[in-house]
Each structure stands twice: as C-alpha cells, then as structure tokens.
Chain A
Amino acid sequence: MHERLLASLESVAEVRLVTALRHEQLGFPNGKDLRIFIPDVHLISEKRLIEGEFTYSTNHPELLTSVVKTLTDLRSQAAQDETVEVYQIGDFLDLWREAPQPDEPSEVPARIKDDHEDLITAFLDRRLKAHFLLGNHDFDLYQWADYAGWERRYYLPDSPPSVIVLHGDYFDWVERLPASIKQIFVYLFSARVAPNDYVLGQMRALSRQSHAGRDYRRQIQLAQAAPIGPLRSPRANGIPPEWNVQREGVADAASLTFLDSAYQECLQANQEFGVNFKVAIIGHTHHARIAVRETAGGGLFTLIDCGAWIENCQARDDADPSPNAQIAALSGGEARVYQLAPKPITPPVRVPGAA
C-alpha cells in the first residue's frame, strides 16, 4: 500500500524520501493496513498573523489541502479487506499564538478555522474520518464539544497494539519535569485507563507551564532549519531496507531527540501494563526523522518523528532550506517519511500558428 500512497502523493506534489525503515521488528506487518500521519500544522488567523508580527506561517496550505483530498480518495478507494486511516498528530490549530491570554472562549478555534476553510473542510471530510490528537498548542480544545473526538494518544493496531502515537510534548515533560508526570504516564501509556479531570488538569497546567514566557514571533521549535540528511527520489532503484535512519553512536544529538525518553517510557509501559510497544510516532519537534536503538533484549525500538508543516528543514545536498512539508506512513512492516513540495508550474505549450 506504500506504492499506492506514493502514487497518490505524486499526483499532487513533488515527493522526496526523507527516511525509510523496513524491519521485521518494526511490527505492524499487515500489508493491507496503511496508517498515514500528518504532523504539526499550527494554523492561526490571518489577522493574528499580522498583529502578532509572526515571521513565519503554515507552509504550503494549498498543497496540504490537495494532499488531504487525495488521501480522502485513497481511503474511499480502499478494498473491503484494506485499512487506510489518517492521523493528524497534534498542533493542528495554534491556540497559543492565536490568543496569548489563557481561558479564551471557544470563538478562538472558530476564528482560525474561518480563515482556512478549504483546508479545514478537507481534513474534516466525513469520507476521510481523520483522527486528531491534541498537541500542546491546541490542548485546550479538549474542553469544547466540537472537539470531543480529539485525543491525546492512540494505540495501533487496535489489538494487540505495538505502536503508540502521541504528539510528543510529553517527552519534554519527561526530560524537564520528571516529578510531575506519574499520573500522566499512566494515562498515556496504559491501554486501560481513560483520563479523568484531574489528569487533564495536570496536563493543561504543564502545557501552560511550557509556554510561559516564550516568544513565538520568530520560531516555535527551530532557531535554524532542521537537518534531515540526504533526500532521495522514492522511485530511483527501489527503496533500501534502511534509508537515512538515525542510530545511536552515529547520529548527532538533535537527530536522536526523545529517542531514549520514548524507549524508556515504552519499556516501563510494557513491563507495568502488559503491552508491547515497539514504535512511538510523534510530531512536536518539527524535525522529520526515524531514529532507532537496540532494546535491552537485543530487539529494536523505533521513534518516528513525522516532522511538520511549519518552519524549515535543510536537506544535506540542497543549497537552501526547504519549508517543512512532511507526511509519514506505516504499513507492512515498513515506515516512510516523505518531504513534499508544490509541483513546478509548467508553462503552457505553444502551438505553432495558434493565436
């Protein structure tokens, strides 16, 4: 199903492969089950973009709209025995940049959506049935009725799960505020616990703590473009089992961000809750990559960071940074992350003698 996804993406975008991993220990072996992950979009209203003096905004919203529409077609055309599910993994709306004062009313998300109608309508098309995660920039949506279906984590597949999908801000808390997160850990990683108001309140407080005093006018996560290594055509000579995968001892520290934290949390969850998480899928860092490490038992743990649609990335062989525009996919024991760009506009062909 990776090939069908690739063909769909190529119908609307220029596609380059950032990273790929095909490995038996990745889990998720079903080749008829395709999960697609769209990372941080960070939409704000046009008015706020100007008033807030932000020097950047969501990258290629028209392209993203086309991508989502083509994913809707892909899902609609899936056979009865196939699964195609799309996940937006948090920070879809950027409430923090839209309304710097907390406790803003529900009009805030509505105001953002008013300015991005085509994109919003594509994402919320009932034929797509996209799943949404709450990120740290849109966590407050949880309290409003329109976002009742938005969650903080998903487990894939539904039984038995081997993959946890979460926004990724949790690992900020793990690394900075380890004493505050015991209850949150239980909620996020135990497949048997639903959040109570106390845990949600704790998460909300931590979210706010992490925003306090931050100036988002020039950046959210990246002072410089995220280094994403060498990109390649997804068509040339097939895709090797590993492409641009970050490993401990070889990769730089930035490319391994949250790998150890994710591994330790999943290991603890596996021991305490009888689950078997081998893969964590996140966004949040705006740095697309797949990072792996050996487990204590000699297996493989994988962190898939899906990137973003905001801020920039720097491919090793490109002269200039590119706007982050990434999408990740998991199917048949293989994970891929693509970098997309608008197709170049081809000039109309001149017909000799035509007026």
Chain B
Amino acid sequence: MKTRRLWIAAILAVSLAACHVRYIPVREARFRTETARSERLQLPLTAGGRAKLLGFLRAGGDSDRVGNTLVDPAAETHYGPLLDRLADPAPLTLDDLLEKRALRKWLSGPVLRQVIDAREESPPAISPVAVGDGRYWWIFYPRHKRLEELLVTLSAEPRKPKR
C-alpha cells in the first residue's frame, strides 16, 4: 500500500512539473547587464560590449562588484569562447539558436520564449529567446530573425547544491 502511494505521489510530482508553465523574470538592475534598455548589449558584441559583459560575469552577475571585487576568476576561461562567438561579425539568427543550437556548447540549458520584464509597458510583440546556463539567463532579442540585442540576468531560481 505504502509503495503504491509513493508511486502515485511520484507520478503526480512529475505531472505537475510537466504542466508548470515556465517564464523568465528579468532581475533587478543590480543583477542584470543593463540599467536602462538603452544600454542593452548590441550584437555582434563590440569590444566595449564584450568587456562590459565579461566584467559582469567576473563579478558573479552583481553590478555592485564590477571593477572592484572579483567573484568568478574563471569567467574569462569559461565564457571567453562564447563571447568571441557573440562578437563574430557573422550574424546569429533565430534558426542558429533554436534549430541548430549553435551555442549549445556554452548554453546547454533550457530555451524559453516567455520573458517577464516589468519595466516594459506591455509584453513584447516578438518574444525574446532566453537560454539558461544554470547561473544566468542569456536573453536574445531578435529582429527579423536576426539576434540583435542581448541581456544577461542572474537566474531567479533557487540554487540547489549538486549531489
């Protein structure tokens, strides 16, 4: 009887997880790469954009620490090749991201199209693409199927220790 209850509980848990509609919140200014929308990173990344993004990642995704306190010494090693790809003049497309998963090597987490950004007046007409890497959400903004802008924000999900 007990085993049966456990099975039912397990099936219910899996079903609920499957039904859960997921969306990504854009975090507070401190935990994202821009304060205002006008500061959004342009793609391909310029040298300045690359440096800004790397600074944010080195600071562990906390703008208060950018340029004064190092949190992630491995950021350049870990994210450098991804930033190089994002700085490549060959434009990235929606197809690259969604179908070809061209950034999977670095961004292997889930891909979601619902981003809640409470700064905006209304939901976006064309949904951005959010790709997770476990710690950050990389939010790409397409225009006519080209990825033109990028916002990186710290994940809001509770961090769970790996077992």
Q: Is B112 an interface residue (CB 8 A)?
A: yes
Contact between B21 and A146, CB atoms less than 8 A apart: no
19 residue pairs bridging A and B, Cβ less than 8 Å apart:
A106-B22, A106-B113, A107-B112, A109-B113, A109-B127, A113-B125, A113-B127, A114-B94, A114-B126, A114-B127, A114-B142, A117-B125, A117-B143, A123-B125, A124-B122, A145-B23, A145-B116, A146-B114, A147-B123
CA distance A38 to B89 in the complex (A): 42
Min Cβ gap B121→A in Å is: 6
A209 within 8 A of B: no
Q: Is the CB of A124 within 8 A of B114?
A: no
Contact at A117–B144, with CB atoms within 8 Å? yes
Residues of B within 8 A of A126 (CB): 121-122
Total interface residues on A, CB under 8 Å, equals: 20
A100-120 vs B, CB cutoff 8 Å, 1 = contact: the mask equals 000000110110011001001
- CB–CB A106/B122 < 8 A: no
Using a CB-CB cutoff of 8 Å, which residues 99-125 of chain B contact chain A?
111-114, 116, 121-125
B121: chain A residues within 8 A (beta carbon): 126
B30 near A: Cβ within 8 Å?
Answer: no
Please name 18 further chain A to chain B contacts, defined as beta carbons within 8 Å, in addition to the given A110-B126, A117-B125, sorted by A numbering: A106-B23, A106-B113, A106-B114, A107-B111, A107-B112, A113-B125, A114-B127, A117-B145, A120-B125, A121-B126, A124-B122, A126-B122, A144-B21, A144-B23, A144-B114, A145-B23, A145-B123, A146-B127
Interface of B is mostly: loop
- What is the distance, in angstroms, from B37's C-beta to the closest C-beta of chain A? 14
Question: If A106-B112, A106-B114 touch, does A117 touch B126 (CB 8 Å cutoff)?
Answer: yes
Do A114 and B145 touch (CB < 8 A)? Answer: yes
Within 8 A of A (CB), among B116-157: 116, 121-127, 142-145
Interface residues of B (CB under 8 A from A): 21-23, 94, 111-114, 116, 121-127, 142-145
Prevailing SS type, chain A contact patch: helix
Which residue in chain A gives the minimum CB-CB distance to B128?
Answer: A110
* Residues from chain B with Cβ under 8 Å of A106 in the complex: 21-23, 112-114
A143 in contact (CB, < 8 A): yes
**Is there contact, CB below 8 Å, between B127 and A110?**
yes
Across-interface contacts of A143 in B (CB, < 8 A): 21
A213 to B125, CA, bound (A): 32
Does B113 contact A110, Cβ atoms closer than 8 Å? yes
Chain B min CB distance to A146 (Å): 4
Query: A116-166: which have CB < 8 Å to B?
Result: 117, 120-121, 123-126, 143-149
> Contact between A120 and B126 (Cβ–Cβ < 8 Å)?
yes
Chain A residues with Cβ below 8 Å from B21 are 106, 143-145
CB distance from B34 to the nearest CB of A (A): 21
CB nearest neighbor in A for B19: A103
Do B126 and A113 touch across chains, with their CB atoms under 8 A apart?
Answer: yes
> Which residues of B have CB within 8 Å of A145?
21, 23, 114, 116, 123
Within the complex, the shortest CB–CB distance from B16 to chain A, in Å, comes to: 13
A144 to chain B, nearest CB (A): 6
By a CB distance below 8 angstroms, the chain B residues around A121 are 125-126
